[in-house]
């Protein structure tokens, strides 16, 4: 699958060093929280399975970093980085995978269903990509009210074959809605390789069906993702309608942690093991003199400590009481 | 994160449609929608051909001129997509009204209705005030995929309200309540009644609360529990049977979810006999829920098994002799009531 | 909307004159039957509304003419011509719109739902384009059995926005199924103009989303349609997978006969009133010396007589008896 | 226009999966499917990840090796599309078996199931032999969109058969009948039972007819009508209650459509008391149809109102204390049976 844009990062001129460091920190935190959660899964802390976003950090954080706080976000299951960027607490995420009373849904929903509307994040059901039509609605509301907000939505390569993808893209393009649709092409949909999901040259090539811009970037290169999404966000904010950005990466774990992923072509794992997006970005920052050993160590340590503290809190948090279980089916 | 909406210009003053002195069921729906759009700038309508065309049945005729394309949105044929769009818009403060061109096509939005709209509030605490309007039902010789009664597809699923008015007066008041309700609401319009049923006078734009049934004809011998087109049918038959000395109480449940069990059970306690009537197929039609509930709540008052009158367990046919053999006819309803009252 | 292929027909060299005449005859018959049915609608002969295919004859007949009798057909609501090509009787079509016992569904279904599997034609429900997934299944079965049959499916411009379109095209392209998908772009979906349905340059441009060939032709030029579909059929039959062919025409009547279509841009009607596909093809045949006045008159007369006879039979046919109405819900 | 199929090579002989001595419910489904694919070259399986991965729950493990990618088809995530594909393939002579990864996702195929598959035979006379398999149900802490009981979404719609085995033996025999049936059949696998329930011995591959209920535990005092996971629960509780002197007859309906009303009613005529149990939400759950039918057919034999035990009218929660409060628990079932038997 060709990449329209090459990895950037040779020069960081004109970029805000604060912002770059913040992106780095959230990427590191994302990785630390997920590594911790993998251990928690293995140790039996979690209720069910665990979906992780290893090697998706550049896409989730890079894309989310293009938003204003008042923009809307409609992430999918490998986008912890986007949640953390917006202020989701790691312990809340863990609490969700544990069914704790303190999870954003109070234990009613669980696993990856922890989106918080107070952070402008839609909490999607399991059906993929149900977040896409909802994202068009959030964008529609912004346009309806004359606000210049945008809505950023993510889905996987496998999700592109569904009704929700096509009907949302159709509506968003016809209505020129301020949407940005990011496709996380991680080579597989559960066990299904991309060639059994789609016959188009790239996933961004599907943009032609909607008469909108589509671009494919190296999804392990956070600055490449950021630049492409930034352009799309700017376009959407200006009232010029939606775009597709495809980030190519690899799902380095199983579909979820129960899955050994033994169906994956070995070469892919090997190829991508050299392309850890967190490491890649760390090297870029180092080369540009924006990060030294000490700071890097500090950032990683702090992230690890956050993850440990989050686990401690989530473990200690209570399970919900069933008392009110029939309440809240309807809003009054 | 809803924010304050900017003032929304209404392009044309006065009603979107002129009402007749005794407005039809169709006019009642349109007038109530017009009323709510005028009252609340967050209310908008979307669906296929709702704009310049005014909708397949003309409910939104004149709306585009009055409210403009921003609030009267012609969508592509994409029921999944635009229902999900409505969900998203409602989540950040708008109050979308979705029109399905025929209720039959709501099948294409089943997934978002069940999995996005119905469950969202319970999962998250966020309200999702979407009203879904759909013309349903048979007797128009429109065949198996243009005549469906769809309430059973949805009544099982927690989190939706289901509204099925049987009169123009209720059509107006219940639509207003549906739109103001903070929950996803399925509002089903009996398209056979659209131009056939008229209000007795000018319409009130007072909301009618959801979840309150209405005794539309008082009686002693048997209770007929029904909704939508069953209501005027039931009342007409009750008036006929009164001449034979059979006193039928007709209860219009008006909303299937929430269901006003109290009014139903009070009536059955009085009459000791109950018949349920709807146009949907019998197997797992809503009559099953009503019958099961009545015998739970009023078993010792019953002098006769509860009888369900419903369409046969077949699709709805096009050809008149076939369709008439499938959908309950007045003679069958009257005969059943006679039998249950007297046996 | 651009047309990739120009109208052909200047030279008829290398074409089978028999076949050309047969195409002409079926186009004329299609028009005659539909004209008759419009009169029947106005005269109150029919149960409900009437969907017609005026100006779609070149697409429906031209495309169907590319099939072998053992191929499969999955038409939609303006494709009477394709049905007639395969041997559907005009009176059966009329009987369907009248709910007669003699309609292909015995009056259970009605209007346009008269497809006959014994002619290899799928009888679709109202939901558009439900025929598309079914068409992939028929093609799948052919491939499964190692047969070289293809399945030709039609849908309108408006139908392309739906789940069924996208999911079928996705599956057919990935599985290389022997399908040909014809899009009848007649400028409107009910009252909705193409610009509110799709933002792509053409409808055939959507082929890029599926990595398959897509071509747009003048849908009033039956030879242009035939050539494009023929190429697609050949490709499908050879095992090279599906294609999209878009035929551009105009819906010259209302969505159905109850609809005055007063929302249509007048210029479009004017432009297309000069492009009657039946007349255009008649002129081509005349110019090539394959049709003279007498024959043309004879073909038209016979078509008119067929339509009249069909109405007479359909009118005289009995309505169904409800006796067995609960039978046949299940096959035994 | 079905034509003769060419001979289909089986790539590997022997069973696709080795069975244990007491096969699990999961193994029973796989073995029956294997049996039918071996027997009939027109049978094939399609769905997400059914190939190399062997399906999310491993029902089709080993099938790709045995039958190859022609007959074990990994689809894109396109439930509408592949369900419609199955319909089309069945129309010209194949016998597709569709696997939905979780029953929750069948919502995405609701439209073709209702409007293409269920109605086709009645409309046209053509058979449409598609079997749809879907793992459903709760108790796995999988939350509101991975735990749904979906039978009520479909039971109202004429033209579908609905099969819900409660034992490994029935899972095998009923799947075989579903595949051989000329109608679209929804075959719902209780995923909680997959690895928890074992057959008492080797499995028979004899088809078990659809529409025949089974008295799985005889009793005198009260009839428990149930299906799927309710069956083993019901029998266990019946055995417990026997020790208290309460004699419970447990009827496993096995197929919801067609429903064996006779067996149910005969049992209720004998016991005069009926309780219906299922894991789906109560409102318009299939228990409503069963209860409404029993009181229609056996009203004068009833000594007690029919009681429905079902999940609460909420989505299914993830967190154990919440999920347990929603889905019927053994103690509640036992207590209800005691009450109904003694009152
Ligand atoms: C409608 C629907 N069908 C099936 C599933 C089950 N499922 C969950 S994730 C997944 C694979 C998704 O693949 P992709 O979109 O590529 O995302 P990835 O997991 O690779 O990030 C599947 C099949 C689902 N969630 N929703
Ligand atoms: C799923 C679905 N939604 C809505 C309809 C109602 N409907 C029938 S035809 C039509 C317009 C179709 O437009 P197009 O596909 O362009 O075909 P045309 O009628 O123009 O030939 C609509 C909206 C339908 N049949 N199915
Ligand atoms: Mg993927
Ligand atoms: Mg069109």
pLDDT tens-digit series, residues A315-331 = 999 999 999 899 999 99
Q: Is A251 in the pocket of ligand 1 (CB under 6 A)?
A: yes
Q: Are strands B307-311 and B248-252 parallel, antiparallel or unpaired?
A: unpaired
Q: Do B319 and C158 touch (CB under 8 A)?
A: no
DSSP 8-state symbol, C211: T
Supply the residue whose CA is at minimum distance from atom 2 of ligand 2.
C127
3-class SS of residue C124: coil
Query: What is the mean pLDDT of the segment spanning A46-52?
Result: 95
Q: What is the mean pLDDT of chain B?
A: 96
- Closest-CA distance of chain A to residue C282, Å: 36
> For D163-199, what is each residue's pLDDT tens digit?
999 999 999 999 999 999 999 999 999 999 999 999 9
Which residue numbers in chain C have pLDDT < 50? 1-7, 9
Element spanning D136, H or E = strand D131-136
Element spanning A214, H or E = strand A214-218
Query: What is the mean pLDDT of the segment spanning D297-309?
Result: 98
- The candidate with the shortest Cα–Cα distance to A173, out of B70, C185, C197, C194, is C197
Partnered with residue C72 across adjacent β-strands are: C151
Angle CA D157–D160–D166, to nearest 5: 110
Which numbered ligand comes closest to the C-alpha of A185? 3
ω into residue B297 within 30 of 0, thus cis?
A: no
- Res. B8: pLDDT tops 70: no
d(CA B87, CA A130) in angstroms, rounded, equals 10
Please give the pLDDT value at position D9. 62
Query: What is the mean pLDDT of the segment spanning D126-146?
Result: 97
Query: Ligand 2 centroid to C158 CA: how many Å?
Result: 6
Q: Is B48 in the pocket of ligand 2 (CB under 6 A)?
A: yes
d(CA A66, CA A84) in angstroms, rounded, equals 14
Supply the residue whose CA is at minimum distance from atom 1 of ligand 2.
C127
Structure tokens given for B6: 């900017």
- Res. A281: pLDDT tops 70: yes
Q: Do A163 and C161 touch (CB under 8 A)?
A: no
Considering the candidates B36, B79, B151, B169, report the single residue annotated as catalytic: B79
Structure tokens given for D92: 């010209």
Query: Catalytic positions of D, please?
Result: 79, 146
Q: Do C319 and B319 touch (CB under 8 A)?
A: yes
Please give the pLDDT value at position C10. 61
d(CA D271, CA B212) in angstroms, rounded, equals 37
- The candidate with the shortest Cα–Cα distance to C279, out of C325, C220, C226, is C220
- The candidate with the shortest Cα–Cα distance to B50, out of B35, B29, B19, B21, is B29
Please give the pLDDT value at position A162. 98
> For B109-118, what is each residue's pLDDT tens digit?
999 999 999 9
Please give the pLDDT value at position B10. 73
- Res. A1: pLDDT tops 90: no
Residue C139 vs residues A176, D94, D97: alpha-carbon distances, Å = 36, 12, 17
> For A128-142, what is each residue's pLDDT tens digit?
999 999 999 999 999
Please give the pLDDT value at position B12. 81
Ligand 1 atom with least separation from CA of A186: 20
Q: Is A159 in the pocket of ligand 1 (CB under 6 A)?
A: yes
Alpha helices in C112-162 (DSSP H): 131-144
d(CA A166, CA C222) in angstroms, rounded, equals 31
Q: Are strands A192-193 and A188-189 parallel, antiparallel or unpaired?
A: antiparallel
Structure tokens given for C226: 């035939």
- The candidate with the shortest Cα–Cα distance to A33, out of A102, A109, A85, is A85
Partner chains of B (3+ C-beta pairs under 8 Å): A, C, D
Answer yes or no: are the C-beta atoms of C30 and C57 closer than 8 Å: yes
Q: DSSP secondary structure string, A136-156?
A: HHHHHHHHHTT----EEEEEE
Cα end-to-end span (Å), chain D: 61
At residue D86 the predicted structure's pLDDT band, cuts being 50, 70 and 90, is: very high
d(CA B151, CA D250) in angstroms, rounded, equals 32
Please give the pLDDT value at position A324. 81
Angle CA C233–C234–C236, to nearest 5: 65
Q: Are strands A72-74 and A179-185 parallel, antiparallel or unpaired?
A: unpaired
d(CA B141, CA B326) in angstroms, rounded, equals 12
Residue D42 vs residues B68, C142, D93, D208: alpha-carbon distances, Å = 56, 12, 7, 21
d(CA C164, CA C159) in angstroms, rounded, equals 8
CA C73 centroid distance within chain: 10
At residue B203 the predicted structure's pLDDT band, cuts being 50, 70 and 90, is: very high
Structure tokens given for D116: 């293409």
Which residue in A has a C-alpha nearest to residue B93's C-alpha? A141
A contact test, residue of C195, C200, C213 with most A CBs within 10 A: C200
Please give the pLDDT value at position D105. 98
d(CA C162, CA A169) in angstroms, rounded, equals 11
CA-CA-CA-CA torsion for B92, B95, B99, B105, nearest 10 degrees?
A: 40
Q: Which residues of C touch B310 (CB under 8 A)?
A: none
At residue A179 the predicted structure's pLDDT band, cuts being 50, 70 and 90, is: very high
Of A109, A113, A167, the CB nearest to B78: A167
d(CA C142, CA D94) in angstroms, rounded, equals 10
Structure tokens given for D184: 């679209």
> For A6-24, what is each residue's pLDDT tens digit?
445 467 999 999 999 999 9
- Closest-CA distance of chain B to residue C78, Å: 17
Question: What residues have CB less than 8 Å from A7, skipping those under 6 apart?
Answer: A218, A220, A221, A223, A224, A280
Q: What is the mean pLDDT of chain D?
A: 96
**B186: phi then psi, degrees, rounded to nearest 5:** -100, 115
Q: Which residue has the higher pLDDT, D59 or C48?
A: D59
Answer yes or no: are the C-beta atoms of A105 and A185 closer than 8 Å: no
Q: Do D321 and A191 touch (CB under 8 A)?
A: no
CA B56 centroid distance within chain: 18
Q: Do D161 and C174 touch (CB under 8 A)?
A: no
Query: Ligand 4 centroid to C156 CA: how many Å?
Result: 5
Please give the pLDDT value at position A321. 95
**B311: phi then psi, degrees, rounded to nearest 5:** -70, 155
3-class SS of residue D44: strand
CA A210 centroid distance within chain: 23
Query: What is the mean pLDDT of the segment spanning A209-231?
Result: 98
Answer yes or no: are the C-beta atoms of D44 and D37 closer than 8 Å: yes
Query: What is the mean pLDDT of the segment spanning A133-161?
Result: 98
> For B117-164, what is each residue's pLDDT tens digit?
999 999 999 999 999 999 999 999 999 999 999 999 999 999 999 999
Angle CA A239–A240–A245, to nearest 5: 120
Please give the pLDDT value at position A10. 61
Please give the pLDDT value at position B91. 98
């Amino acid at each position: 699958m060709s990449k329209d844009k090459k990895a950037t990062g040779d020069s960081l001129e004109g970029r805000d060093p604060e912002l770059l460091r913040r992106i780095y920190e959230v990427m590191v935190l994302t990785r630390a929280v997920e590594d911790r959660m993998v251990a928690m899964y293995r140790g039996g802390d979690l209720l069910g399975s665990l979906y992780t976003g290893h090697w998706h950090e550049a896409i989730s954080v890079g894309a989310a970093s293009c938003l204003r706080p008042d923009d809307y976000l409609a992430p999918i299951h490998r986008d912890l980085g986007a949640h953390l960027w917006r202020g989701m607490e790691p312990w809340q995420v863990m609490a969700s995978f544990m069914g704790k009373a303190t999870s954003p849904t109070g234990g009613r929903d669980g696993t990856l269903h922890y989106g918080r509307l107070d952070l402008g994040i839609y909490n999607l059901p399991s059906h993929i990509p149900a977040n896409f039509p909802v994202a068009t609605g959030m964008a529609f509301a912004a346009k309806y009210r004359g606000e210049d907000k945008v809505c950023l939505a993510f889905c996987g390569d496998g999700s592109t074959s569904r009704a929700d993808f096509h009907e949302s893209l159709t509506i968003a393009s016809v209505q020129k809605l301020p949407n940005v649709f990011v496709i996380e092409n991680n080579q597989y949909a559960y066990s299904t390789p991309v060639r059994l999901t789609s016959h188009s040259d790239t996933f961004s090539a599907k943009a032609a069906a909607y008469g909108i811009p589509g671009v494919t970037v190296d999804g392990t290169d956070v600055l490449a993702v950021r630049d492409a999404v930034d352009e799309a966000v700017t376009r959407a904010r200006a009232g010029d309608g939606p775009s597709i950005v495809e980030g190519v990466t690899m799902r380095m774990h199983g579909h979820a942690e129960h899955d050994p992923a033994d169906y994956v072509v070995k070469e892919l794992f090997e190829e991508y093991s050299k392309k850890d997006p967190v490491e890649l970005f760390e090297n870029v920052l180092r080369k540009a003199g924006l990060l030294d050993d000490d700071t890097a160590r500090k950032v990683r340590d702090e992230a690890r400590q956050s993850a440990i503290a989050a686990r401690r809190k989530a473990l200690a948090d209570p399970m919900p009481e069933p008392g009110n279980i029939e309440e809240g089916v309807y809003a009054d | 994160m809803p924010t304050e909406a900017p003032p929304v210009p209404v392009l044309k003053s006065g009603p979107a449609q002129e009402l007749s002195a005794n407005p039809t069921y169709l006019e009642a729906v349109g007038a109530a929608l017009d009323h709510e759009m005028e009252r609340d700038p967050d209310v908008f309508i979307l669906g296929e051909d709702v704009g310049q065309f005014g909708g397949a049945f003309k409910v939104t005729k004149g709306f585009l001129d009055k409210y403009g394309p921003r609030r009267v949105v012609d969508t592509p044929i994409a029921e999944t997509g635009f229902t999900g769009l409505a969900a998203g818009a409602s989540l950040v403060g708008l109050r979308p009204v979705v029109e399905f061109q025929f209720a039959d096509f709501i099948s294409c939005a089943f997934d978002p209705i069940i999995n996005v709209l119905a469950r969202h509030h319970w999962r998250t605490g966020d309200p999702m005030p979407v009203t879904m309007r759909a013309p349903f039902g048979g007797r128009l010789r429109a065949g198996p995929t243009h005549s469906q009664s769809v309430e059973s597809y949805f009544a099982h699923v927690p989190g939706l309200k289901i509204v099925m008015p049987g009169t123009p007066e209720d059509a107006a008041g219940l639509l207003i309540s549906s739109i103001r309700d903070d929950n996803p609401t399925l509002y089903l319009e009996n398209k056979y009644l659209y131009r056939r049923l008229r209000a007795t006078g000018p319409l009130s734009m007072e909301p009618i609360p959801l979840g309150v049934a209405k005794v539309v004809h008082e009686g002693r011998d048997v209770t007929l529990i029904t909704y939508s087109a069953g209501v005027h049918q039931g009342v007409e038959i009750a008036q006929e049977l009164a001449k034979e000395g059979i006193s039928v109480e007709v209860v219009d449940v008006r909303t299937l979810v929430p269901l006003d069990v109290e009014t139903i059970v009070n009536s059955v306690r009085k009459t000791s006999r109950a018949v349920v009537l709807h146009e949907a197929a019998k197997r797992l039609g809503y009559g099953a829920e009503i019958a099961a509930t009545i015998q739970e709540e009023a078993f010792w008052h019953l002098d006769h098994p509860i009888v369900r009158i419903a369409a046969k367990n077949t699709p709805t046919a096009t050809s008149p002799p076939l369709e008439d053999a499938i959908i309950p006819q007045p003679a069958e309803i009257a005969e059943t009531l006679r039998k249950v009252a007297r046996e």
